[in-house]
Structure 1
Amino acid sequence: MKLGCSRFLLSCHVLLCLSAIWVPATADVPVAHLTGCQAKCGEVDIPFPFGIGEQCALHRGFNINCTTVNGILKPFAGYVEVTKISVPDGKAWINATTMSWRCYDVATDTMSYQNEGLDLRNTPFWVSEVDNKIIVIGCNTLAYMRSFPYVIGCSSICEDVTLENDKCSGAGCCQADVPKGVRYYNGYFNTNYNATKRCSFMAVMEKAAFKFNTSYTESTVFWDTYNGTVPLVLDWLAWPSTCDVAQNMSSYACASTHSECVNSTIDEPGYRCTCAVGYKGNPYVQNGCQDIDECLEDATLCVSGSGTCTNTAGNYTCSCPRGKDWANGSCQSHFPVIPVVGTTVGLVVLVIVLACACMIQERRKLQKMKRDYFRQHGGLILFEEMRSKQGITFKIFTEEELQQATNRFSEQQVLGQGGYGTVYKGVLEGNVEVAVKRCKTVDEQQKKEFGKEMLILSEVNHKNIVKLLGCCLEVEVPMLVYEFVPNGTLFQLIHGNHGLRISLATRLGIAHESADALAYLHSSASTPILHGDVKSSNILLDRDHKAKVADFGASILAPTDKSQFITLVHGTCGYLDPEYMQTNLLTDKSDVYSFGVVLLELLTGKLPFNFSQDVAAREKSLSMMFMYAMKVNKLEEILDDDIKNEESTEIIEEAAELAMRCLEMCGDNRPSMKEVAEKLDSLRKVMQHPWVQRNPEEMECLLGEPSSMVSSTITSAECFSIEKKAVNGLQSGR
């Protein structure tokens, strides 16, 4: 088989295949089913709101082309074949040519790559996170799916392991979950991974359609099995507006009586229609939701109790012969009043006794389950350690306490969501505001070490680090309780559309406080802690714009064993340390690199990664754009307009030089976080001095390294005098 240009050209169409612009017409869209429209294409039903031709579809996003392929009629959305459409489930099945591959070329003795992807933006579709998986096939293969802000994948090996059919857990095959709400993605291979001279493959595909076969790791068997085209399940919405808005519009798509509107489950406005309980059919057409005849569909209804089933609108009833009534699932005879009352009272007492017994049994089961979870997560070890250490403020919360604090984890209390879990705002007794983090998953090794790790994190005490107040261990996945920081994130301050001007002094202050916090974690905490996910959205701001670093437990809660790091890749585009991507080993210098990107955000006001297809390759990554600007001496062109015209040019240049050192490709060449914090502190103090911004030579004395005085026109003695004057000025407040 030849994986070459023809397949590449076809893959280019995939990025355009479903991108029919999802823009509803300005005129009202008719929602009744149109007469004269084709109901099927070949063997595939085409239900409304889909239609063959724009005039037969609800809008252009649901337009289907019925095309003859090898003598067989097949439906296509753009260049992608549609194999099934489900209106009740809001899903569509397609055959997508999105399989990425990497193969050894014997002729050139090199590895050839083809990275495929899918773009569903500006369409009513997204990749179903329930029905699909990220599948990686190959030996010594690390591949991942990139979709902002996610980088998710896994690695598979063949050496020293046994490959088994139908088992995809790292031996020749691995899989990872698809994030929620993915509208576009691209597949990538880690080119620095020690690849074998075989073919490797990566695909996002329907999990029910995939079964691993050990032969897939040989040559191109996996590609040949699917012919490079994998089944994929898409979720869809009928209209890009919420139910509250849509129900007041004449173009409301839920046309049938007994239909209901269901809001989007992803973070975008939209809705789809469904039939009410007791009805089935197509809610998008007039009278499309028809009553379900439960008696006809289930002939056993009422029969076991000697009753007769009668269908009603949206339900059914069971009736009995004369002299009997339907009760407790059967036809009951009429009895004299006294025996009936006695029997009823007896039954009521019996039911109450049984209910109480069941409640007690269930409560015991629940308590036992909570105790088991508490032990699994190291709660006993944590409790004993807390007793042995006097004055510790760390608290172990109950599940009920946190449920009450967060209004039963209401969606209205959500502060944010990330790769590790969801954060809720809560209010404890005494009106103490907190942030409660519900972690998504925890593996067996983490369960054993969790209590010990919580004790380590509880001892972290720094004014610029969000304080960990406690945890809840009596649930399947532990919950963490942090102090509440009210003023949002640094990401929102820099990139939010709030119209505020952020001064250079404020930016340097936030940078110094964040660096000081990371330096504390690396070297001053009782046990050194690697943050592992430094980014502007993990730096919170209080009411005075003082920085507080959050999620500092990510590296401890994340896998710490080398093999586990290689198996699962998590990160945020734009902040990932390139050395970590090559070695899969997290170090303190990985945090330094990520902080360098945060420093660039503060200086430029730009996003760390630009996913737009219309920009040059070096402009996609903020760090690459910055390095190029520094190389050609055009730093000013990428600076934020708010600081571009400030007089403190030397300070900005010093900060840029510091960022360059942090972004060194080799971790050994990067400064420590302590060095970074000290440098930013000196810049911040110089910035505060009222007379330091006029004389470049004075700036050289206060900012320059000793070696920088060699070419200076000012003497060491004069420089010493200037430094002394600056110190006296700061002390006197002048």
Structure 2
Amino acid sequence: MPFPAVVAAVLLELLSAVVTAAGCSTSCGNISIPYPFGIEPDCYHEGFNLTCDYLYRPPKLFLGDGTVEVLEISIPNGTVRINSTNIMPMSHDIDGASRPNTSRYHTWGGLRERGPFFVAPDRNKFLVLSCNNIQVILMGEDNSTINACATYCPSLGNSDAQPQLIRYLLLHGECSGLGCCNGGIPKGYTSYHIQLQPSNDSSSDAKSSVYIAEEGSYNISKLMSEPRGVALPALLDWVISNSSCQKQNSVAPGCRSSNSFFQNYTSYVYNGYQCRCSAGYRGNPYILDGCQDIDECVHKEAHSCHGICENTPGTFYCRCPDGTYGNPSIEGGCIKITNYSAGLIIGIVISGVSILLLALSAPFVTRMVKLRKVKKMREKLFNQNHGLLLQQLISQKADIGERMMFTLGDIEKATNNFDKSREVGGGGHGVVYKGILDLHVVAIKKSKIVVQREIDEFINEVAILSQINHRNVVKLLGCCLETEVPLLVYEFISNGTLYHHLHVEGPKSLSWDDRLRIALEIARALAYLHSATSMPIFHRDIKSSNILLDESLIAKVSDFGASRYIPIDQTAVMTAVQGTLGYLDPMYYYTGRLTDKSDVFSFGVLLIELLTRKKPYVYRSDNDAGLVAHFVSSLKKGDLADIVDPQVMEEEDDGELQEVAMLAAMCTRLEGESRPTMKEVEMALENLRARKKPAPCNSAAMRYDGDQIVVQYNSIEDLLAKKDMPVEGGAEESSRQYTMEEEIMLSARYPR
């Protein structure tokens, strides 16, 4: 094409963007650009800049500097529709054959960190298409596991038969695991990490794709037959400010129209607000006079007016025509008056009396309607949360049943309607408030995320946790089922967490004697949960921030949001992986098989944290080894001073450090079968604490306990010898501690 023709073509594309008198483009191609969005400087609110790429025909619109394509902007809905590309396409070799991508981590992103754009949780799905047997884990920006799903494909002799079978089944069923799986997306994230875990028998010609896509925008069976890499639309929420408004009548500076209001946007990772036009108005609440009155009388039938319509600001008035009476809101509701004069007089009298009665009764009726609506909603949520089932489960203990069931009114009164000043803590699962119930100080946990599949498990958890009575476990006092997510009421522990006491500024922290005692108390609690409750309970998230300390520094195990129980005749349960990286059992992380030894591993990491004052989830040695690997290596070399807290080196006595270090190494062994039980750990620590007291005559004393004879080990060496672990030289067998990547590769010989 000659150069002048090229210039003319570019100028023609430039003309496709409509520009206002102020020099701000209002469209790009066929996409409108309303404020707070904009292309040119001074035309957009901070963080809402766009790029219009005129090299495309028609031009394409992108967020920010041009990495995420924009398909649609909706001011009324507060959303932006984007092009979401395939996260994990297959890698292709030179010969053209497709093979599974062996990279462990992939990232979906392109949005600016900390907003203002976030993936809309109720309109998008985490979607996996694969003819492999794989598990895909969705993680947040903080690397916490937030969802996972797995696909399965039957093994067929004909390689072409498998995709055909998958497509046939998808046409007649749901995306429930056979060739396809999906899951929800939590609120408030701007990017996600994706981890692929293929099985050893995955076929080499299978194809896999992972999407974050708008629900309803795709056809699964059609998508399975299309080439991988096709883009799907995804929907983003956006907020105008990074701070929420606390009072409903407060002024939100981002809402500039006089007929607008703010709507808070809250999640457990981000808070902000959006603007909406008031009822009876529509337009753009982000500009002056942007919300304009809707003239309902233009389409009065659509607003249930079949009489004479008179528009007013924000609403309208509908009446019957002169010479008629009746109800103008229904078709044919206005009836002609035979005697006009008599009818007019009667109508005026009736209208006057009706208006007077309505004015007198309106406040009372309005209040009754609101109370009835609130009561019905609470009853609906109570039944939805299986409140009747919970009452049946605890009906055998009437005193517990009466005390455990709290109303939402009780909770709101105890927390001053969830006042922010009452917040005393929180984590990934919810916020904890301090309150007063029945003249007792309590802690009330309010969840942040609604996961419907966990509601059924919640009821059984409450029924079992209500039976726990141990001085080292935070006591569950009750619950409230009249909210979308049930509220839990615990005893209030006033002295913070072990994490805050341990990781303080300065060289001195908890004394060695306190650390050893706290470790023993935690071990007692876990041994109780594993072996003394009516059904074994696995905590699944043991870490220093989940250990509370009272005013006497007595340890209390808390936060059972991730805990699971299993029938007493089973030893393990298959679950979606949940926990905290750094403390997580590598065998559970890989296989999804939860056992009591998973808690033992987490406890071993906690022992190492008590010895070193190092944070397991962030620590890296000079050679990039994790805390567990570096600790066991130092123990094997006999050089614990390289990693142990100097305060512990100074205060420990008579080889206590060496024994506790060997016990920690044994608890964190790779194979769960080689780890001790929590009961054995408890006994070993108990005897270590009591070692300076007069010892029994024999090195391993026996005590009678009911119908069983329990061996009490006088030293940790006895326990190590029982588990065939060498005592001298540190922990020879425990040297099999590696980074998480190496542990997963070693675990490949344990297929799911």
1:410, 1:681 → 2: CA distance? 42
Q: Does 1:62 align with 2:67?
A: no
Aligned match of 2:210 in 198, 202, 209? 202
Is residue 434 of structure 2 the alignment partner of residue 433 of structure 1? no
TM-score w.r.t. the length of structure 2 is: 0.70
Code of the aligned partner of 1:178: I
Q: CA 1:503 to 1:72, structure 2 compared with 1: closer, same or farther past 3 Å?
A: farther
> Equivalent of 2:668, from 657, 663, 667?
663
1:48–1:474 distance in 2 versus 1, CA, 3 Å: closer
1:532 and 1:554 in contact (8 A); partners too: yes
Partner of 2:189: 182
Change (3 A) 1:275 1:343: closer
Maintained 8 Å contact 1:100/1:188: no
Separation in 2, partners of 1:545, 1:557: 28
Equivalent-residue separation in structure 2 for 1:368 and 1:55 (angstroms): 50
**Cα distance, 1:519–1:328 mapped onto 2, change above 3 Å:** farther
Partner of 2:126: 134
- What is the 5 A alignment of 1:1-20? none
Q: Which structure's residues are more often helix, by fraction?
A: 1
Match of 1:223 among 196, 213, 228: 228
> What is the correspondence of 1:224-623 to structure 2 with a 5 Å cutoff?
224=229, 226=230, 229-241=231-243, 253-266=254-267, 267-268=269-270, 270-285=272-287, 287-295=288-296, 298-300=299-301, 304=305, 306-312=307-313, 314-318=314-318, 335=346, 377=389, 379-383=391-395, 385-386=396-397, 395-400=403-408, 402-404=410-412, 406=414, 410=418, 412=420, 423-435=432-444, 440-441=450-451, 443=453, 446=456, 450=459, 454-471=462-479, 480-494=488-502, 501-552=509-560, 554-556=562-564, 568-610=576-618, 619=624, 621-623=626-628
Pair 348,641 (structure 1): closer, same or farther in 2 beyond 3 Å: same
In structure 2, distance between residues paired with 1:358 and 1:64: 44
Comparing 491-500 with 49-58, greater Cα deviation is found at 491-500
Q: Does 1:150 align with 2:139?
A: no
The 8 Å contact of residues 385 and 456 in structure 2, kept in 1 or not, is answered as no
SS in 1 for 2:397: helix
More displaced stretch, 471-480 vs 143-152: 471-480
Asked if the contact 2:535–2:565 (Cα under 8 Å) also holds between the matched residues in 1, the reply is no
Does 1:164 pair with 2:170?
Answer: yes
1:478 Cα shift?
A: 5.6
2:88 pairs with one of 100, 103, 110:
100
After TM superposition, give the deviation of residue 179 of structure 1 in Å. 1.8
Pairwise CA RMSD = 5.2
Matched residue of 2:70: which SS? strand
Structure 1 residue 306 displacement after superposition: 2.4
> Residue 374 of structure 1 contacts residue 474 of structure 1 at CA under 8 Å; is this kept in 2?
no
Counterpart in the other structure of 2:108:
118
| Pair 1:84-2:91 in alignment | no
Partners of 1:688 and 1:411 in 2: how far apart? 51
Structure 1 letter corresponding to 2:107: G
Separation in 2, partners of 1:357, 1:296: 29
Q: Distance in 1 between matches of 2:688 and 2:90?
A: 48
Q: Is the 8 A contact 2:217 2:233 kept in 1?
A: yes
Q: Which letter maps to 2:87?
A: M
C-alpha deviations, 1:319-357, integer Å up to 9, x for none?
A: 677899999969995548876787789999999999999
Q: Is the 8 A contact 1:619 1:625 kept in 2?
A: no
Following the alignment from structure 1 to structure 2, what is the Cα–Cα distance between the partners of residues 56 and 482? 52
Change (3 A) 1:624 1:52: farther
Match of 1:45 in 2: 32
Shift of the alpha carbon at 1:458?
A: 2.9
Q: In 2, are the aligned partners of 1:167 and 1:212 still within 8 Å (CA)?
A: no
Higher RCO (CA < 8 A, seq sep 6+): 1
In structure 2, runs of 5+ residues without a counterpart are 1-19, 156-165, 335-342, 695-713, 730-752
Name 2:705's counterpart in structure 1: none
User: What's the offset of the Cα at 1:292?
Assistant: 2.2
Does structure 2 retain, via aligned residues, the 8 Å contact 1:465–1:548? yes
My pick for the range that moved more, 104-113 or 580-589, is 104-113
1:629 Cα shift?
5.6
Q: Kindly tell me: are residues 167 and 288 of structure 1, through their superposed partners in 2, closer, same or farther at Cα, counting changes over 3 Å?
A: farther
Compared with structure 1, are the counterparts of its residues 128 and 495 closer, same or farther at alpha carbon in structure 2 (3 Å cutoff)? farther
Deviations 1:619-667 (A, max 9, x none): 5854455456656776555555765765669544543333222221110
Distance 1:311 1:344 in 2: 20
How far apart, in 1, do the equivalents of 2:359 and 2:259 lie? 38
Query: What's the CA shift string for 1:294-326, capped at 9, x where partnerless?
Result: 3256433787362332232x4444467789999
Structure 1 range deviating more: 564-573 or 164-173: 564-573
Contact 2:391-2:401 within 8 A present in 1 as well: no
User: How far apart are the structure 2 equivalents of 1:269 and 1:603?
Assistant: 38
Q: How far apart are 1:81 and its partner, in Å?
A: 1.9
636 and 71 in structure 1: CA distance in 2 versus 1, 3 angstrom threshold? farther
CA shift, 1:75, in A, is: 2.1
**Aligned-partner Cα distance in 1 for 2:444–2:530:** 24
In structure 2, relative to structure 1, the CA distance for the partners of 1:172 and 1:497 (3 Å cut) is: farther
Q: Secondary structure of the residue that 1:167 maps to in structure 2?
A: coil
How high is the sequence identity, in percent, across the aligned residues?
33
User: Is the contact made by 1:135 and 1:174 (CA closer than 8 Å) also made in structure 2?
Assistant: yes
Partner of 1:23: none
The SS at the match of 2:594 is coil
The 3-state SS of whatever aligns with 2:235 is strand
- SS of residue in 1 equivalent to 2:228: helix
Q: Is the 8 A contact 2:498 2:549 kept in 1?
A: yes
Structure 1 residue 507, shift from structure 2 partner: 2.9
Figure out how many residues of one structure are paired with residues of the other and give that number. Answer: 648
TM superposition shift of 1:111: 4.1
In the TM superposition, what whole-angstrom CA distance separates every residue of 1:510-556 from its partner, at most 9, and x where no partner exists? 22211210011112234322222323333222222221112447444
For 2:194, the aligned partner's letter is G
Asked if the contact 1:395–1:471 (Cα under 8 Å) also holds between the matched residues in 2, the reply is no
Partner residue of 1:697? none
Greater CA deviation, 414-423 or 301-310?
414-423
Deviations 1:641-700 (A, max 9, x none): 7657656695445433332222211101112112323344455567999xxxxxxxxxxx
| Paired amino acid for 1:487 | N
Partner of 1:7: none
- Cα pair distance change 1:269/1:155, threshold 3 Å: closer
Structure-1 residue corresponding to 2:23: 36
Deviations 1:97-134 (A, max 9, x none): 45125679799997433442135425533332222222
Check conservation: 2:473, 2:557, Cα contact below 8 A: yes
Partner of 2:697: none
SS of the residue corresponding to residue 194 of structure 2 reads strand
Amino acid paired to 1:304 = C
Q: Secondary structure at the match of 1:291?
A: strand
SS of corresponding position for 1:544:
coil
